Amino acid sequence: MIQPLRRRHRYSFVALAVVLPAIFTAGLTARRPLVPIQPHSDRILLTMPSGAAMVTGARELWGSAVDAPDLLVYWTADEPELASLPVNARLLGSLDAARREALRVPQGNRNRGYLILYSLAWQKPVGRARVPKEMP
């Protein structure tokens, strides 16, 4: 009486050993990606002190520094050194947010100020650029 049960169990386990990996592989290939893949825009939006909106390229401003992880955009009126973040720097927002919505640039003195790119992951500034001139 036990032999037929053992034979049935053996056949069912052999069948499961073939079918389960096939189902698992089919499920992995059929699922949608977890993160939607969107085209990566290099354009950022800035709102100037006069209220004018400006679109500029992140790579035009900072070059390859935009490839650093977890980037924040700061503004300062004085020319910064890249050794550390200036004390008077004001946070404008993240670089990813600047690609979706405009960052407001504060009113500066005669030289319009500087934009600083700060990497949270590396805990240091990775790039700086002058605030672009407004178009009349």
Is 41 a residue whose pLDDT tops 50?
Answer: yes
Question: What pLDDT score does 12 carry?
Answer: 94
- Tokens 């950022």 sit on residue: 44
Share of the chain above pLDDT 90, in %: 21
Q: Which residue has the tokens 């209220």?
A: 51
Rounded to an integer, what distance in angstroms lies between the CA atom of residue 65 and that of residue 42? 12
Single pTM value for the model: 0.65
pLDDT in tens, 87-123: 889 998 888 877 778 888 887 655 578 889 999 989 9
Residue type, position 9, single letter: H
Q: How many CA atoms lie within 13 A of 133 on its CB side?
A: 3
If we measure between CA atoms, which residue out of 1, 12, 128 comes closest to residue 66? 128
Banded model confidence at residue 14, pLDDT cuts 50, 70, 90:
very high
Tell me how long the chain is.
Answer: 136
Closest Cα partner for 96 from 34, 36, 43, 37? Answer: 43
**Domain boundaries, given as residue ranges, for the chain:** 1-31, 43-130
- Is residue 37's pLDDT more than 50? no
How do strand 103-104 and strand 43-47 relate by DSSP bridges?
Answer: parallel
| Residue 58 and residue 109 in contact, taking contact as beta carbons nearer than 8 Å | no
Determine the Cα–Cα distance for residues 60 and 104; give it in Å rounded to an integer.
Answer: 19
d(CA 75, CA 71): 13
Percentage of residues in the chain having pLDDT higher than 70: 88
Average pLDDT of 7-11?
A: 93
